[in-house]
């Protein structure tokens, strides 16, 4: 029998499939169905900084840059009745989910600035969450903000949150840092127990008929996996931290690649939103079959086996590979 178990943030999980932060966790019934189908843990949808402190001056400083007014920035916030729940309701949902299921429940905070809102990290812990994920989603638009300034704020935020909780902390990142290895290193020093790579950035589109911005959310495909795969491969073995791979996990093959890059777990949103919890047992069974055929006895055995430190061709992850890939393209005759 192959052993699919793994560990993430000190939690022992029966397999590497985790439901990513999304509306998947909004309904207790749905989380129960995912648990029955075999999911190993669930990350809750995020509680946003903006929902906690609307009038925070520090937040205002960030949000209004690049827009005409604070009011305009606030108008982009999701309607609290549809997308989100108010903070108190969020905390009740953590407690409700914890009572309803036996799998670990990871709370999620989404924010960028330091301030009073971070007390919610502690409150999420008190509500029963097994761990906390902090999503650092931020789009810099002001040319006066330096990368250093931005990164310092985010590192300080991680340290603030870490010092206010006892449960493990994971940080969900975007791929857009100038020197990701150095920034990742700083986050680990500030107390991150896990890194979740990567946030998917939802790009606004243009509606040419209406001449306005179209807000459409497209689900991922397996090709989105390449970016986190590369970076977990590069970072694995260089940092004392767990990795969760998010973006583009749709099949057992995707999960296997993620494990070999060095991820402890894979997180899925698009696939489960599109196909429902019934996808979980089929991915688990394909995973098991592949491992049996290829004579792997455990997931742990393959973790990091294709990371930069382990492969015969480490340059494949770097600049050297760029020329090789370009020259391998077969042009039209
Ligand atoms: C409808 C939807 C809502 C999401 N809400 C959140 C959220 O509240 N917090 C968060 O950190 N990520 C959120 N995400 C991002 C997912 O957790 C995940 O990182 C991203 O979709 C990439 O994974 P995927 O390729 O499996 O979809 C959301 C994604 C979708 C599609």
| DSSP string computed for 8-68 | ETTEEESSSEEEPSSGGGTSHHHHHHHHHHT--EEEPPPEEHHHH-TT-HHHHHHHTTTSS
What is the average per-residue pLDDT within 198-218? 88
User: Which pLDDT belongs to residue 56?
Assistant: 45
Going by pLDDT thresholds of 50, 70 and 90, the confidence category of residue 84 is very low
Question: What pTM value is reported for the model?
Answer: 0.91
**What is the position in ligand 1's atom list of the atom closest to the CA of 48?**
8
User: Which pLDDT belongs to residue 223?
Assistant: 95
Ligand 1 lining (C-beta closer than 6 Å): 20-23, 45-46, 108, 110, 135, 172, 199-200, 217, 219-220, 224, 246-249, 268-271, 273
User: Using the 8-state DSSP alphabet, how is residue 262 labeled?
Assistant: T
More confident residue, 182 or 200: 182
Going by pLDDT thresholds of 50, 70 and 90, the confidence category of residue 58 is very low
What is the average per-residue pLDDT within 159-185? 97
What is the average per-residue pLDDT within 41-50? 94
Numbers of helices and strands, H then E, in the chain: 14, 13
State in Å: Cα 22 to ligand 1 middle: 5
More confident residue, 64 or 271: 271
User: Which pLDDT belongs to residue 57?
Assistant: 46
Going by pLDDT thresholds of 50, 70 and 90, the confidence category of residue 325 is confident
- Parallel/antiparallel/unpaired status of strands 242-246 and 47-48: unpaired
State in Å: Cα 269 to ligand 1 middle: 6
d(CA 248, CA 238): 24
Provide the mean pLDDT of the chain. Answer: 90
- Asked whether residue 79 carries a pLDDT value surpassing 60, the answer given is no
User: Which pLDDT belongs to residue 82?
Assistant: 43
Per the CB < 8 A criterion, the answer to whether 267 and 43 are in contact is yes
User: Which pLDDT belongs to residue 117?
Assistant: 86
State in Å: Cα 325 to ligand 1 middle: 31
**What is the position in ligand 1's atom list of the atom closest to the CA of 21?**
17
- Asked whether residue 75 carries a pLDDT value surpassing 70, the answer given is no
- Asked whether residue 60 carries a pLDDT value surpassing 60, the answer given is no
Which range (154-168, 251-265, 289-303, 315-329) has the least confidence? 315-329
d(CA 24, CA 274): 11
Count CA atoms within 13 Å of residue 285 on its CB side: 6
State in Å: Cα 226 to ligand 1 middle: 17
- Asked whether residue 68 carries a pLDDT value surpassing 70, the answer given is no
């Amino acid at each position: 029998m192959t052993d699919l178990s793994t560990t993430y943030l000190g939690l022992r999980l029966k397999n590497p499939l985790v439901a990513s932060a999304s509306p998947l966790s909004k309904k207790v019934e749905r989380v129960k169905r995912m648990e029955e189908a075999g999911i190993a843990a669930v990350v809750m949808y995020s509680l946003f900084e903006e929902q906690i402190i609307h009038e925070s001056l520090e937040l205002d400083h960030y949000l209004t840059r690049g827009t005409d007014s604070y009011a305009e920035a606030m108008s982009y916030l999701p309607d609290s009745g549809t997308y989100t729940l108010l903070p108190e309701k969020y905390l009740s949902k953590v407690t409700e989910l914890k009572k309803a299921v036996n799998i670990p429940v990871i709370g999620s905070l989404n924010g960028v600035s330091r301030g009073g809102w971070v007390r919610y990290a502690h409150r999420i812990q008190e509500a029963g969450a097994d761990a906390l994920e902090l999503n650092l989603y931020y789009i810099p638009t002001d040319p006066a903000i330096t990368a250093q300034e931005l990164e310092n704020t985010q590192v300080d935020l991680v340290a603030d949150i870490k010092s206010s909780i006892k449960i493990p902390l994971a940080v969900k990142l975007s791929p857009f840092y100038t020197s990701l290895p150095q920034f990742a290193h700083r986050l680990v020093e500030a107390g991150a127990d896990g890194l979740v790579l990567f946030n998917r950035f939802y790009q606004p589109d243009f509606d040419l008929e209406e001449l306005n911005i179209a807000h459409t959310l497209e689900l991922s495909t397996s090709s989105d996996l390449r970016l986190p795969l590369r970076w977990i491969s590069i970072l694995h073995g260089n940092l004392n931290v767990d990795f969760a791979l998010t973006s583009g996990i749709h099949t057992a093959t995707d999960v296997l690649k993620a494990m070999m890059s060095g991820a402890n777990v894979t997180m899925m949103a698009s696939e489960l939103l599109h196909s429902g919890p019934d996808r979980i047992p089929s991915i688990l069974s394909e995973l098991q079959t592949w491992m049996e055929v290829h004579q792997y006895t455990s997931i742990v055995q393959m973790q990091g086996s294709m990371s930069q430190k382990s492969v015969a061709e480490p340059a494949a992850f770097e600049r050297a590979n760029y020329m090789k890939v370009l020259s391998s393209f077969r042009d039209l005759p």
